[in-house]
Amino acid sequence: QKEVEQNSGPLSVPEGAIASLNCTYSDRGSQSFFWYRQYSGKSPELIMFIYSNGDKEDGRFTAQLNKASQYVSLLIRDSQPSDSATYLCAVNMGFKYGGSQGNLIFGKGTKLSVKP
């Protein structure tokens, strides 16, 4: 059973703090990892992806991947109230047909609340 696990939260942080969101996955063959943000009643929007071990930074966001531990995380620095949303971790299990990424397996999401 391929699974992606996230703490459902809610995770509450004060404005300006660092929010740390975590995700574990079960399939060691997983190749690419994505973080999506979803506001209530809206569709998911991509924040960033990572596929190599280590850190990847994009503005206030840093994704961290540790394939040995099957763990991926998202750090949000200087959290703002506008960051309050559900954060979805998604994992690509590989390229079954030699073309695009096939399907994504999503976790249930972590709800983040940033308090002013």
Partner 1 sequence: GAGVSQTPSNKVTEKGKYVELRCDPISGHTALYWYRQSLGQGPEFLIYFQGTGAADDSGLPNDRFFAVRPEGSVSTLKIQRTERGDSAVYLCASSSGLAGGTDTQYFGPGTRLTVL
> Which residues of this chain interact with partner 1, rule CB under 8 A?
4, 8, 31-32, 34, 36, 42-46, 49, 51, 88, 90, 92, 95-109
Nearer to partner 1, 17 or 104 (CB): 104
Nearer to partner 1, 3 or 15 (CB): 3
Contacts of 2 (CB under 8 A, 6+ apart): 25, 26, 27, 91, 93, 105
Nearer to partner 1, 15 or 45 (CB): 45
Give the strand order in the sheet containing 61-66: 4-6, 19-25, 71-76, 61-66, 54-58
Q: How far is the CB of 95 from partner 1 (least distance, A)?
A: 7
The whole-angstrom separation of Cα 107 and Cα 3 is: 8
Q: How far is the CB of 25 from partner 1 (least distance, A)?
A: 13
